[in-house]
Chain A
Amino acid sequence: MGVSEAVLRVDGVTKRFPGVVANDDVSFDVRPGEIHAVVGENGAGKSTLMKIITGLYPPDKGEIFLRGLPAAFRSPRQAIAAGIGMVHQHFMLVQNFTVAENVILGAEPARRGLIDLREAARQVAELCRRFGLKVDPLARVEDISVGEQQRVEILKVLYRGADLIILDEPTAVLVPQEVSELFEHLLTLKEQGKTVVFISHKLDEVLRVSDRITVLRRGRVVGTVRTGGVTRQRLAEMMVGRPVLFDLRRSANPPGDPVLALEGVTASLGGREVLRDLSLVVRSGEVYGVAGVEGNGQTELAEAIMGLRPVDSGEIRLRGENITNLPTGEVRQRGVAYIPEDRHRRGLALPMTVWENAILGTHRSSEFASRGRLDLRRAFRATEESVLRFDVRLTSILAPVQTLSGGNQQKLILAREFRGQPAFILAAQPTRGLDIGATEFVRQQLLSARDSGAAVLLISADLEEILSVSDRIGVIYNGHIQAEFSQDEADPRTLGAYMTGARTRERKGAAGR
């Protein structure tokens, strides 16, 4: 083998797990100093591939070459030592440590077991300067923003001397401004001679920053393309294997009467106000999107509406009736469907069977129960209808729901919640963790419920989702709706400014108030 020009070459890597081939004869190469994107849907094999490259899994077949030499790492530590650094999607940071402590952990500058804190801070500050990463080495990680935390993760791999940096879905947790900053950082890294592998399923971002793109589908490489020579539509087709609908239908009908109204709602958590004087109105036939950086009261907003969190002051009305602080069961009985943000904790009882989960919440209704006895035949029939209508893929409705994939679990929740024509649908992060196919399905269902007259409150951290599905958008910041926009006057930059609190207090186009 001659001198390879690739920093990293993946050659025919195959990895099987019981029942699936996660990677099937995967080959691609990464050139020095490029930003190389790896895209694919959930389950396409991206993360398995990265785990093989960084030594977490051994491949069943095939080889990895680093700078032309075979590299079979048996642990992430060996990969780090060889100059491969991984920035994980879920940050691996110790929250109550300082930035510098997080960076040096495991490779501390020390004399006889005693940490040289000054030297540590100096080295971190030096790295920040060299790569243009702004972060205070002495700040505690729990006090800094998500974007800054990501910089700490990048600092960690730079501190260990990585020259190939792999970022796993790095933009998933960032607001638009932070995404732009991240991309600038990536370009600086590239200028400084580092090589970047960027894993994503967000095509716009990939197209913005990468030099080349490798597309994975069902464990196989569909192809590697130059970024300049490909369109978004084409990339999406490569990823999904069929044409994808990007622009979802907008509502043709004008919205009707108010269904859900919050007025001056305030709620607190451990003495801290998490909802502050929050007001909004959702009318029948419209999707109201709540955009915001996570942790600004979205979770509490959903909980307050559902009666899961006590409201201190203010009023929540459903079709004119006061439902403030009603028990959850009663709220649901009045025609509220709820898709909780954490489907594993709140949406489903994972060890229970599919049919049990499918009737959960309605199990006491006369449809399924008489005199305390469940009518299993009816429950089974209803479950089978739901499964068919919402295309839930499963082996048996008697199987525990945890054996279903994430997308199918979410479809089951939708099927349960949409039965009986709810007047109001509260969807919190409904597509989180779903692949393109399932995401498309969930959004379509929300829109068709809207078209048949339901009022939909969509809470999502995914700005793209808010923009493509909502008829009206409210930006939540610090527990308060800072601004409202109609769908056609909203753009990511303006929303982003309100989401980060850079702009405050303004109500635009609050139609219907």
Chain B
Amino acid sequence: MQSPEMLASAIRLAVPIIITAVGAIYAERSGVVNIGLEGMMIVGSFSGAAVAFFLGPYAGMLAAILAGALFALIHAVASVHFRVDQIVSGVAINILAYGVVRFSAISIFKAATTSPHVNSLPRLSLPGLSEAAWLRPLVHNVSPLVLLAFALIPLTAWVMNRTVFGLRLRSVGEHPLAAETLGVNVYLMKYCGVVISGALAGLSGAYLSIEHNGMYVEGMTQGLGFIALAAMIFGNWMPLGAMWAGLLFGFAQAMSLRVVTQAVPYQFVRMIPYVLTILILAIWTRRARPPAAVGLPYERGEAT
């Protein structure tokens, strides 16, 4: 029976989706669609690996967070300040990220598509439970980021519902004009939301390269940024929902990697997560309740 193995693999694959999806919640709740998450993950995965190679995994994580945040800042300046269409700006970020990373890889490592091997963060194990054979894959040699990903769920719910920051962030995504007339700094909140989403996407990219793979490989994000966006929608813009959706997609990924059968060409098996994403979105979106003003550019002083 390999089911705990499978579950552990599903969780490992769900972690980047969950972290990025939680990030997406911050952006969308402030009213900004961040389709550039994929690009921010790419930037995070490379800068994380590159800095980890020279300065160790902790510095790598930090660098990835900063790089993701920087790219998010570009998205924020374009879509919040200059009111560029958020989708267009996000797509531009994705293209830019791909180019910047390839260029950097060549200039630093003289190789366009990979980095050298890097060390990961120290693994965690639960001493007592590791003895039980079938639990072992779940609690032995776990990346600390796995714990962090799950800790982000209650933390984000708390920030959104109990803090002044969360209330203002949500108000800006629902009715920016109302927020502005009450003295909330709409632009600042949107910048915060977008930059947090980029920082988390960067971290999630670093998880892929430093923790999951041990090196940067071009194309390693495999559209996870988009899947994370879908997970956030399926999770109805709530952290807990995003977690379940992330686990579901993680499970689909784990399955697509493990199912070995002669009956179906493996290309079709590999499609499972992506087909699942489309199906779920097609079925779910009718019932979803997005923030009322998501995707709409806001001009200061529209107040009437």
Binding site for B on A (CB under 8 A): 47, 51, 56, 76-77, 80, 86, 88, 90, 92-97, 101-102, 105-108, 110, 113-115, 117, 156, 270
A90 neighbours in B (Cβ, 8 Å): 304
In contact, A105 and B165 (Cβ under 8 angstroms) = no
**Assembly CA distance A51 to B181 (angstroms):** 12
CA A94 to CA B182, docked complex, whole Å = 12
List of A residues within 8 angstroms of B272 by Cβ:
none
Does B183 interact with chain A (Cβ within 8 Å)?
yes
Q: Are A106 and B168 in contact (CB under 8 A)?
A: yes
Contact of B163 with A114 in the complex, beta carbons under 8 Å = yes
* B99 to A: closest C-beta gap in Å: 37
Closest chain B CB from A108 CB (angstroms): 5
Binds A, one of B11-19, B149-157, B172-180: B172-180
Contact, CB under 8 Å: A113 / B164? yes
- B167 near A108 (CB under 8 angstroms)? yes
Give the CA-CA distance A76 to B179 in the complex, in Å.
12
Which A residues lie within 8 Å of B301 (CB)? 56
Q: Looking at the complex, which one of A47, A56, A80, A94 makes contact with B175 (CB distance below 8 Å)?
A: A94
Could you jot down 28 A-B contacts, CB within 8 Å?
Answer: A56-B304, A76-B303, A77-B183, A88-B181, A90-B304, A92-B178, A92-B181, A94-B174, A94-B175, A94-B292, A95-B174, A95-B292, A96-B174, A97-B170, A101-B167, A106-B168, A106-B182, A106-B183, A107-B182, A108-B167, A110-B164, A113-B163, A114-B162, A115-B162, A115-B163, A115-B164, A117-B162, A270-B286
Given the interface pairs A106-B182, A106-B184, the reply to whether A115 lies near B303 with Cβ below 8 Å is no
Contacts of B303 on A, CB cut-off 8 Å? 56, 76
| Bound CA–CA A94/B189 (angstroms) | 16
Instruction: Collect the chain A residues with CB atoms within 8 Å of residue B170's CB.
Output: 94, 97
Residue of A nearest to B287 (CB): A270
> Chain A residues near B179 (CB, 8 Å)?
94, 105-106
From B182, which residue of chain A is reached at the shortest CB distance?
A106
B292 and A47: CB pair below 8 A? Answer: no
* Cα separation A270 to B183 with both chains bound (whole Å): 37
In this assembly, does B79 line the interface, its C-beta being within 8 Å of a C-beta of chain A? no
How many residues in B have their beta carbons less than 8 Å from beta carbons of A?
Answer: 23
Contact between A97 and B162 (Cβ–Cβ < 8 Å)?
A: no
Of chain B, the residue at the smallest CB distance from A50 is B304
How would residues 272 to 292 of chain B score, 1 for a CB under 8 Å from any chain A CB and 0 otherwise?
A: 000000000000001001001
Q: Are B168 and A97 in contact (CB under 8 A)?
A: no
Q: Is B171 an interface residue (CB 8 A)?
A: yes
Beyond A95-B175, A113-B164, A115-B162, 6 additional contacts (C-beta under 8 Å) are A56-B304, A92-B181, A96-B292, A105-B167, A107-B182, A114-B162
Q: In chain A, what residue has the closest Cβ to B291?
A: A96
Within the complex, the shortest CB–CB distance from A377 to chain B, in Å, comes to: 41
Q: Which residues of A contact B289 (CB under 8 A)?
A: 96
Contacts of A76 in B (CB 8 A): 181, 303
For B164, give its contact among A51, A95, A108 (CB under 8 Å).
A108
- The reply to whether B304 and A94 contact each other, CB–CB distance below 8 Å, is no
Cα(A51)–Cα(B303), bound, Å: 9
Nearest A-chain residue to B163, judged by Cβ = A113
A90, A94, A101, A114 interface centre (most CB from chain B within 10 Å) = A94
Q: How far is the CB of A89 from chain B (nearest CB, A)?
A: 9
B171 & A94 in contact (Cβ 8 Å cutoff)? yes
**Least CB distance, A81 to chain B, in whole angstroms:** 9
Q: Are A97 and B183 in contact (CB under 8 A)?
A: no
Considering the complex, give the chain B residue whose CB is closest to the CB of A103: B182
For A47, A114, A156, the residue with the greatest tally of chain B CB atoms inside 10 Å of its CB is A114
Chain A neighbourhood of B165, CB < 8 A: 113
| Cβ contact of A88, chosen from B162, B171, B184, B304, cutoff 8 A | B304
Chain B nearest Cβ from A56, distance in angstroms: 6
Chain A residues near B181 (CB, 8 Å)?
Answer: 76, 86, 88, 92
Interface residues of B in 177-213 (CB under 8 A from A): 177-179, 181-184
State whether A105 touches B163 (Cβ < 8 A): no
> 10 tightest A-B contacts by CB?
A106-B182, A92-B178, A106-B183, A94-B174, A77-B183, A94-B175, A108-B164, A106-B184, A110-B164, A105-B182
- Rounded to whole Å, the gap between the CB of B120 and the closest CB of chain A is 34
- In angstroms, how far is the closest chain B Cβ from the Cβ of A456? 33
